A = this chain, B = another copy of it.
Amino acid sequence: MSFDRLISSITEKQNPTVAGLDPKLDYIPQYIKAAAYEKYGKTLEGAAEALFEFNKGLIDALYDIVPAVKPQAAYYEMYGWQGVRALERTVRYAREKGLFVITDGKRNDIGSTMEAYGAAHLGVTDIEGEAVEAFGADALTVNGYLGTDGVKPLLDICKAKDKGIFVLVKTSNPSSGELQDRKLEDGLTVYRTVGNMCENWGSQAPGETGYSSVGAVVGATYPEQLGELRKALPHTFFLVPGYGAQGGGAKDVAPAFDENGRGAIINSSRGIICAWKKEGSAPEDYAQAARREAVRMREEIISFIGEIK
């Protein structure tokens, strides 16, 4: 099942990190933008071309040391359908390079509509009997506020197509506690309740590694909850955002892992893709700067969790 593939790649590369591809124009070196604008003008199309070229350079520099990339849908949608085409090209290129692709869309809807999102991002779309892959990611982030109906269609696709989902449990943002930390009448928090739902949904799609196809998003900015959830949800693989730019460090994410160094993948977006700006290195060096930061991050995390078995 799906996260088995991801886990095997993490183990092989001894690297439990995912590079977040959130390519704002501000992050992209001028020479890439200039080339794109020359072709397509200072338009959505030009911006989208710059996005893809930026991503392509990052993927080329990262694919042999990082198991996965996570494009954030919002940063493509803001450049219109042209940006969404850059998302599609990015997903396809990353998969060609053997990367596991997590589309971060936090999609959610009622069952019949969720089927459409599933087809879009993980499955195939039927066009008069022809099955066409619209985006073709390996995993999708999902918001579980609507309950089982909104997750069930994705479980079916996960089974049929060896894919995975990550359900928002405890998010990394400062106000995540407003609803997620509230306690229900039975004394469990909302986030723990949604976590338990993940564990339950996942029991329908178990994997050989012990982790199911239903993962959870748990923020690096809440290390205590990370530890609590790791213990409570032994079959739920974690996607952990909030490392780096949002303030989480390697020590904070250590509780996300099990005793074998498995159970989680840590995301860094700005930290990796803007490394060239932070380093003050030449724009032409942006992809290698990203690689250096990815290596540094890997070493930092491995120093806390040890070898991944």
Interface: A72 (CB within 8 A): yes
Q: How far is the CA of A232 from the CA of B174 in the complex (A)?
A: 27
From the candidates B78, B132, B168, B190, name the one contacting A190 in the complex (CB within 8 A): B190
Nearest chain B CB to A58 CB, angstrom units: 18
Please, which residues of chain B bring their CB within 8 A of the CB of A260? none
Do B150 and A114 have beta carbons less than 8 Å apart?
Answer: no
Q: Which residue of B lies closest to A183 (CB)?
A: B185
From the candidates B75, B127, B174, name the one contacting A46 in the complex (CB within 8 A): B127
Interface: A121 (CB within 8 A): yes
Do A173 and B149 have beta carbons less than 8 Å apart?
Answer: yes
Do A145 and B147 have beta carbons less than 8 Å apart?
Answer: no
Beta-carbon contacts under 8 Å, A127-149 to B = 127-128, 130, 132, 134-135, 143-149
Beta-carbon contacts under 8 Å, A45-95 to B = 46-47, 72, 74-75, 77-85, 87-88
The answer to whether A43 and B116 touch (CB under 8 A), given A108-B143, A145-B180, A149-B174, is no
Q: What 1/0 flags go to A188-225 for Cβ under 8 Å of B? A: 00100110010000000000000000000000000000
The answer to whether A180 and B78 touch (CB under 8 A), given A106-B108, A111-B173, A128-B42, is no
Q: How far is the CA of A173 from the CA of B42 in the complex (A)?
A: 43
Q: How far is the CA of A108 from the CA of B171 in the complex (A)?
A: 11
Do A78 and B117 have beta carbons less than 8 Å apart?
Answer: yes
Please, which residues of chain B bring their CB within 8 A of the CB of A121? 77
Do A78 and B120 have beta carbons less than 8 Å apart?
Answer: yes
Beta-carbon contacts under 8 Å, A265-303 to B = none
Nearest chain B CB to A44 CB, angstrom units: 6
Do A146 and B173 have beta carbons less than 8 Å apart?
Answer: yes
Q: Which residue of B lies closest to A25 (CB)?
A: B127
From the candidates B42, B74, B126, B146, name the one contacting A109 in the complex (CB within 8 A): B74
From the candidates B22, B44, B150, name the one contacting A127 in the complex (CB within 8 A): B44
Do A144 and B84 have beta carbons less than 8 Å apart?
Answer: no
The answer to whether A44 and B148 touch (CB under 8 A), given A78-B116, A183-B185, is no
Q: How far is the CA of A84 from the CA of B88 in the complex (A)?
A: 11
* Chain A residues at the B interface, C-beta cutoff of 8 Å: 22, 24-25, 33, 37, 42-44, 46-47, 72, 74-75, 77-85, 87-88, 106-111, 113-114, 116-117, 119-121, 125-128, 130, 132, 134-135, 143-150, 168, 171-180, 182-185, 190, 193-194, 197, 241, 246
Closest 5 pairs between A and B when the two form their complex, measured CB to CB: A147-B175, A147-B178, A74-B116, A81-B85, A80-B134
